[in-house]
Chains A and B, each alone.
Chain A
Amino acid sequence: MSAKALRGEDLEVVLAEKRYETIGKIVKASVRKREAKLTFSDMLDKVFLHKYLGIPIFLAIMWAVFQFTFEVSSPFMDMLESGFGLLGKLAGDATTPLASLWADGICAGLGFIMIFIFPIFFLFVALAILELSGYLPRAAFVMDRAMYKIGLPGKAFVPMLMGFGCNLPAIMATRGIEDEKDRLTTILVNPLMSCGARLPVYVVIAGALFPDYAGTVVFSMYILGITLAVLMALLFRKVIPALKGKPGPLILELPPYLTPTPASVGMLTWERGVVFVKKAGTILFAGAVLMWFLTYFPWGVEPGSAESYAGKLGQAVQPIFSPLGFSSALVIALIFGFLAKEIIVETLGILYGAEEEAAIKSAIAANVSPVTGFAFMAFVLTYLPCLATVGIVKAETGSWKWVGFLILYELLLAYAVAAVIVGIGSLL
């Protein structure tokens, strides 16, 4: 066998396995263990870390997490939504700027995004339970081989998973990765993991344009994000000199399994979820007011029309996106989505003058074609990380160079992906 042929099997792994084989022989000859009882943790590990069952079990658990998140939160979302609807009517007809600010800006815009507090919190509850029970390090162990193939270490797995919640803590969690190149690659592809803030965009658009397959379409966005992350990781490790090389070996301490207490789950969930609550109180509130102002002013014009400030801004930027078929309303939403991705839904709600989910959906169904809608979702998935994430990437990488690279590659990738979708869509 030539070196090249052997290389295909990855000599580093082969040599490490040989060393462990040798160790196994040494230990067998020199160490005896008095028969100790199999602990409950050992028994669980026999199942969760099983050579073949490990990955299917992991996938089943993840599916259950998302199912739990969406199913449990949907009745709460409906309740809060009707609550905001009633609140909006308190100020009477929106004939004055102040009443309009209350009904069209705050209740329609901010209120609409507030209902997503439920899926976000329930997702964090599920992740907290997995983390506190001790399963997450096992998941990293199970996924290491697959992760290694795509050029990321097993330890990158948990930060990538956390990216589904929010990329900000996820990027902070990459600190556990020892190797600098591994860490940098993980940070750069993490924003492609679709965070909770992007979920409302998919839910609304998929619900409006693909009512019968909404769940599948939303799921396809997550898959698209994962696929892009894998491709980018592979590409970066091949092409960028500062990231070239193979990921380091995984050595993990597996803590014993624990039953998470409600208090500890609550604390961890709150710690992470409070970011969303703070965002709602500050940037999302400000975003709602700003969007309302741009849409309804100069006072008296048709809201969101070409004469409004928002309409003018949209018209100025829209030509860049006309090959993709994005209307000026969608473009405005994208621009303000940089502050926080939730603002995209907020903006659409205000621009279309819709106060509840059903109204936004029918407005979208009337204004956006399914292909454009799908391309738009993919664009939202891929383009620019939000402002807060940009800040944390700067803090964690310590250089504007990587921040600039991240923004540039994501923008180009988003445009390319959306263009491919539009291209394929036009053939169908």
Chain B
Amino acid sequence: MAITVALIGNPNVGKTVIFNNLTGGREHVGNWPGVTVEKKVGVCIHKGTVMNIVDLPGVYSLTARSIAERIARNYIVEERPDVVVDIVDASNIERNLYLTLLLLELEANVVVALNMWDVAKAKGYEIDVGMLSRLLGVPVVPTVAPRKEGMEELKDEIVKAAQRKEKRGMFISYGKEIEDLIKKIEGVLSEDAKLSKRYPLRWLAIKVLEGDEEVIKKVRESPQGAKIISEVLPA
């Protein structure tokens, strides 16, 4: 059985090197639908599991504002890949974890590759991988992409994650006031069977609060749309 694995990460974290390590450099290059941004797809076979690897654009966040971010998030939301490998620059962990949190909010099945492990060490960082993994609630694998370190472990974790059934990942609490709002919107949204089947409701609710244009458009089209808009959004 083949699984789909999406690679994502901030720009300049060594995503391309990891893609090449996984696929052996054999790739199929096309375009994302409707835009001229390159889409790279490759295959990796690990211990009998066929993985279709999809390279997503390098992004810092997942708003609806830039083409690259829209491509990345639409792919994750609409295509629901079995595993999303989030490549994190270990030497810049604070900035990189922002994207990780957004992926968890999207309820993606995340595996974190803690790349540039060597650079982080040279800079004096000591990262407790076990603790990080426990806090994030997802597997974390240290890697040094140019030296192919950690690649076998990463593949193992991808396969394991794909077989896992229950949802994982930490829960970010936004504080009582905002959580109440999120609950309220979630409640209204859950009445729309179509939306709640397709998208994580909490994510939709957060995006509505953030004023995300794409999500608001989707919500407006729902039969519940008018209700949400009138209750939550100012005129």
Chain A residues in the interface with B (C-beta under 8 A): 1, 3-4, 6-7, 11-12, 14-15, 18-20, 22-24, 26-27, 29-36, 178-179, 181, 245-246, 248-249, 251
Contact = CB atoms under 8 A, between A and B. Distances in A.
A36 B123 CA distance: 8
A252 B231 CA distance: 36
A34 B97 contact: no
A236 to B, nearest CB: 17
Contacts of B66: 178-179, 248
B65 A12 contact: no
Given A26-B136, A30-B128, A31-B126, A12 B210 contact: yes
Interface in B89-111: 93-95, 97-98, 101-102
Given A30-B131, A31-B126, A251-B60, A1 B65 contact: no
Nearest to A18: B174
Interface in B79-94: 93-94
Interface of B: 60-61, 63, 65-66, 68, 93-95, 97-98, 101-102, 123-129, 131-132, 135-136, 172, 174-175, 177-178, 181, 206, 209-211, 213, 231-234
B41 to A, nearest CB: 25
Per CB-CB distance, the 6 closest pairs between chain A and chain B, nearest first, are A34-B124, A30-B132, A30-B131, A12-B210, A178-B66, A248-B65
A27 B94 contact: yes
Consensus secondary structure, chain B interface: helix
Contacts of B232: 3
Contacts of B124: 33-36
A269 B40 CA distance: 41
A36 B124 CA distance: 7
B177 A34 contact: no
Consensus secondary structure, chain A interface: helix
25 contacts: A3-B232, A4-B234, A6-B177, A11-B209, A11-B211, A15-B174, A15-B209, A15-B210, A18-B174, A18-B178, A22-B101, A22-B172, A23-B97, A23-B98, A26-B97, A27-B93, A30-B127, A31-B128, A32-B125, A32-B126, A34-B125, A35-B124, A246-B211, A249-B63, A251-B95
Contacts of A1: 177
Contacts of B210: 11-12, 15
A15 B206 contact: yes
Contacts of A251: 60-61, 95
Contacts of B132: 26, 30-31
Contacts of B181: 3, 6
Given A15-B178, A179-B65, A248-B65, 5 more contacts: A11-B209, A19-B102, A22-B172, A23-B98, A31-B128
A20 to B, nearest CB: 7
A7 to B, nearest CB: 6
A181 to B, nearest CB: 8
Contacts of B213: 245
Contacts of B93: 27, 31
A19 B98 CA distance: 7
A17 to B, nearest CB: 10
B206 to A, nearest CB: 7
Given A14-B178, A30-B135, A245-B213, A19 B126 contact: no
Contacts of A3: 181, 209, 231-234
A3 B206 CA distance: 12
Contact of B211 (A12, A18, A31, A248): A12
B170 to A, nearest CB: 8
A11 B178 CA distance: 9
B217 to A, nearest CB: 12
Contacts of B211: 11-12, 246
A30 B231 CA distance: 41
A301 B62 CA distance: 70
Nearest to B180: A1
Contacts of A35: 124
Contact of A19 (B129, B135, B172): B172
Contacts of B95: 251
A84 B226 CA distance: 72
A31 B96 CA distance: 14
A400 to B, nearest CB: 23
A249 B98 CA distance: 12
Given A1-B177, A6-B178, A31-B93, A19 B101 contact: yes
Contacts of A15: 174, 178, 206, 209-210
A215 B66 CA distance: 43
Given A3-B181, A19-B101, A31 B125 contact: yes
B230 to A, nearest CB: 11
A178 B124 CA distance: 33
Given A34-B124, A179-B66, A248-B66, A23 B177 contact: no
Contacts of B98: 19-20, 23
Contacts of A14: 174, 178
Most buried by A among B65, B126, B177, B210: B65
A31 B233 contact: no
B150 to A, nearest CB: 17
Nearest to A7: B234
Nearest to A23: B97
A117 to B, nearest CB: 40
Nearest to B177: A1
Nearest to A36: B124
A180 to B, nearest CB: 8
A245 B65 CA distance: 9
B156 to A, nearest CB: 22
A20 B211 CA distance: 19
B208 to A, nearest CB: 10
